[in-house]
Amino acid sequence: MKTLFEKIGGADAVNTAVEIFYRKMLADERVNYFFDNTDMDKQIAKQKSFLTMVFGGPNNYTGKDMREGHKHLVARGLNDEHVDIVIEHLGGTLKELGVADDEINQVAELANSVRDDVLNR
């Protein structure tokens, strides 16, 4: 069975998705302050690996990296609500790209599975 990553068009589609997804995040005042001092290019690279992972593409995701990478944000108050917002924008992004609802739900499930790593619990 094809992964969603293959279905939506592989790496090129991820590049397009990140552009949409990151714009949604940066425009959302509930989460955009977390990005105040981040370098956009590095952030985009990180989001590409994240999206590749939740689309079921080839990735080298490790829970340890996810924990390390978000520790400083958890200290700044990153919590479940923010993870919900990420999943919401991920869904919105996929909808714009014409992905079907049940596949969006699968992605949301995968994204949800790293919640505890992200929140360092």
Interaction site with other proteins (CB under 8 A): 18-19, 22-23, 26-27, 35, 37-41, 44, 68
Q: Are the beta carbons of 119 and 82 closer than 8 angstroms?
A: no
Q: How far is the CB of 74 from other proteins (least distance, A)?
A: 16
Q: How far is the CB of 73 from other proteins (least distance, A)?
A: 16
Q: How far is the CB of 15 from other proteins (least distance, A)?
A: 8
Q: Are the beta carbons of 52 and 59 closer than 8 angstroms?
A: yes
Strand, helix or coil for residue 38 = coil
Q: Is 34 exposed, middle or buried (0-12, 13-18, 19+ CB in 10 A)?
A: middle
How far from chain centre, in Å, is Cα 68?
A: 16
Nearer to other proteins, 33 or 79 (CB): 33
Q: How far is the CB of 4 from other proteins (least distance, A)?
A: 23
Nearer to other proteins, 16 or 106 (CB): 16
DSSP string, 49-82: HHHHHHTT-S----HHHHHHHHHHHHHTT--HHH
